Amino acid sequence: MFAPMPHCRTLSEVYLDNNATTPVLASAAAAVLQTMQQDFGNPSSSHSTGIKAKAALEQTRSLARQLLGADHGDIIFTSGATEGIQTSVISALQAIRARGLAGPDTLLLYGATEHKAVPESLKHWNTLLQVNASIVAIPVLQNGLLDLAALAELLPRAALVCTMAANNETGVRQDLHALEHLIRKIKPDAYWLVDCVQALGKMPLQLAATTIDYAPFSGHKLYGPKGIGFLYVRAGAPYRPLITGGGQEGGLRSGTENLPGIAALNAIFTELLKTGQSQFCAEEVLWHYRTQLLAALREVFPALVLNSDAPYIIPTTINFSVPGFFAKDILDLFDAAGIRISSGSACSSKVTGSFVLDAMGLARWRSEGAIRLSFGPAMTAAECTEACQRISSLASVVRQHCLVLTDADPLNVPDADGLYQFKYDACCSYLLICAQSRQAIIIDPVLPLAERFVNIIQGQGLSLLAVLDTHLHETTNQAAVLLRQLLALTTEQDPLGWPVALSELKLGAYQLQRLATPGHSAQAFSFLLHYQGKLKAAFVGDLLLPGGIGRTDMPGGDATVLQQSLQKLTQYLYPETLLFSSHDYAQRFVTTLAQAMRETPLLEPILAGNALETWQHTLNEQAQVLQQASSHLCGLVEVSVQDAIALVQPTALVELLAQQDLIVLDVREPYEQSAGALIHYLPAAAEVLQVPLSRLCDAVLHGKLQPEQPLLLVCRSGNRSLLAARVLRRLGFHQLWNLQGGVALLS
């Protein structure tokens, strides 16, 4: 898994995701190596080597006490913060149960913006230990601070309160003094857990001077290796070991101690405690770095909006959103340029939107567009300068391409032309552009994409002919109405946007005709797309979906009418005609009549006696071709980085593909290509064709991609390219390879 990979030309990495994890400090790495190779004794051994190991362990514990101002209480070494949280929760819940406080009238409180490790631990152990208390989130204000008024109302019934010192997504720093005053005034016997993972090295922590009962820490968030952490437990606070066995850590946490990890903490603590020259920056220096980085970000995104800001934050976290942008687009752009940032917590990076910003009551677009840039307290001036320069260099890329909301083509380029697919959740919208006539038509727009369409039309200087909907519902046509207003479309239209004076719409070589196809709703149409006089595609709304027949349970839906509309539509289509729906629930992008017949058996009786008989033989012929192809080809193959490098070598290619030329299909967006072209990663012999995912069907429609072409598909992570490969496979392509891990593993 960790075998060396063949590298070609690569971009240097600028790492700005330190809240997720940090590189190991050089002195800490040296301490780890020294401990693993020389000072490797078991602290439980009674001989000299073990005694030395025990002394080193206790010295690190002593340094931790100095750093935290914890001259009393326990410092317990753990595998990380998650273990510390679990241990604290178990200890508190067992004490709560022993005090007879079990049941729904007892509250377990946690901050609404807390890391998921805390509420999930509460839910798990509350059930497992049968405490059955009520778990309640403490609301936060718009600035991210806990709502003290709301907390005051909850505290009389609270047995455990869980808060953070500093938030991992926003950097919001809670007022621990105010929290302590409130908790101890209203409910002095409540246990108090404070997640201090993001606080160490960034804000002072004098724990012994507080009444905090439990404070977990993690090494890898502060330049230590993964797998080491520690837990502070206040003297007198209830404690039960999570792990028992050999009685290590004074019986508080069994298992042979991770001495290399503890040695790394020793080096880090020593550096933090230095009063003179230290690798860790003073707070004013960190604020200066933040100012520089923020200035660079504003060069790229002048409309940037901060989701958290001074005086409520630690300086090392910048959380921002940009109007009109989803986080994924910015993340892809920065990643292509070798800049590592994140769209939120690393533990929740696959979730759309930020629950932290949602809890703060910020607008949904800010949540869905939230980006977290985080640097560490040991950042150097040179590293800050390099990061700022790399970020600033993206300003020209953004101006050239104008980022988008989803996996859609940026379009702000001179050759914007053809069909573009936009997706928002399961909703599908389409934009048809004719570069020659400078005209455009929008089909089935949705509100979250309206701003994007306006930017495209105005930025490109296009003449908008129509904004069309395939069907009429009470709420689904709001985007079309808004777009017609914003873009000052003055031609007289019917309720679905079709110009009343025209029987067909023409955009250069494109012609669009409409066909009444009700059934999903009372008013519904399909739009037949011709190119150079030939039928190429149809926009069928919800009449026919990729993988199924449209719903008829909506207002105005009628199954009999829908069947009649399907029969009517097929009279105009060919088996290979591309069919675009207004919804795509299975990430299939497109279908054809031939594919629909294979995937939806219900279609055959619906179409029987109509168009089915005229092209059934064509379906059979296509099935035979695919069957023959699959007899000697795998269809879709996942390849490793090493295999991919071999594939693009001419000799290996000839041997593998019988003298056919392999094409590397880059499905990343153009702005990613501009920020980090594949030539940085692949040998010069590779032939690269860029077809963004949103332009994939357009490439098929115009014959730019042919089913017989052998294709190696590549994107940033391997996910979009795998999706594209599946789309192509459904369209009859049978020589497809997907690069596992994508460009990320090549860099």
Q: Is 703 exposed, middle or buried, given 0-12, 13-18 or 19+ CB atoms closer than 10 A?
A: exposed
DSSP 8-state code for residue 346: G
- Please state, in angstroms and rounded to a whole number, the distance separating the CA atoms of residues 122 and 359: 19
* Residue in 8, 162, 196, 347 annotated catalytic: 347
DSSP 8-state code for residue 207: G
Say if CB 233 and CB 74 are below 8 A apart.
Answer: yes
140, HSE (Cβ side, Cα atoms, 13 Å): 27
- Please state, in angstroms and rounded to a whole number, the distance separating the CA atoms of residues 84 and 76: 9
- Please state, in angstroms and rounded to a whole number, the distance separating the CA atoms of residues 651 and 649: 6
Say if CB 357 and CB 207 are below 8 A apart.
Answer: no
CA 742 to chain CA mean position, Å: 15
Say if CB 186 and CB 155 are below 8 A apart.
Answer: yes
- Please state, in angstroms and rounded to a whole number, the distance separating the CA atoms of residues 518 and 550: 11
Token digits of residue 382 = 């040179």
Say if CB 35 and CB 263 are below 8 A apart.
Answer: yes
- Please state, in angstroms and rounded to a whole number, the distance separating the CA atoms of residues 494 and 56: 81
Task: Note the helical H segments in 38-80.
Answer: 48-68
Query: What are the φ and ψ backbone dihedral angles of 111, each rounded to 5 degrees?
Result: -65, 140
Strands (E) located in 103-245: 107-111, 134-138, 158-164, 191-195, 214-218, 229-233
Question: Any catalytic annotation for residue 428?
Answer: no
DSSP 464-509: EEEEE-SB--SSTTHHHHHHHHHTT--S-B-TTS-BTT-SEEEETT
Nearest to 690 by CA among 678, 675, 707, 708: 678
- Please state, in angstroms and rounded to a whole number, the distance separating the CA atoms of residues 60 and 47: 20
Token digits of residue 288 = 């200066």
Task: Note the helical H segments in 315-354.
Answer: 327-336
Token digits of residue 579 = 């069919």
In the block, tokens 């032939």 appear at 687
Continuous segment of H or E residues that includes residue 653: helix 650-657
Continuous segment of H or E residues that includes residue 344: none
Q: Is 392 exposed, middle or buried, given 0-12, 13-18 or 19+ CB atoms closer than 10 A?
A: middle
Say if CB 390 and CB 338 are below 8 A apart.
Answer: yes
In the block, tokens 């104008």 appear at 402
- Please state, in angstroms and rounded to a whole number, the distance separating the CA atoms of residues 605 and 597: 10
Nearest to 518 by CA among 567, 481, 475, 480: 567
Continuous segment of H or E residues that includes residue 609: none
- Please state, in angstroms and rounded to a whole number, the distance separating the CA atoms of residues 394 and 80: 37
- Please state, in angstroms and rounded to a whole number, the distance separating the CA atoms of residues 38 and 23: 23
* Active site residue ranges: 347
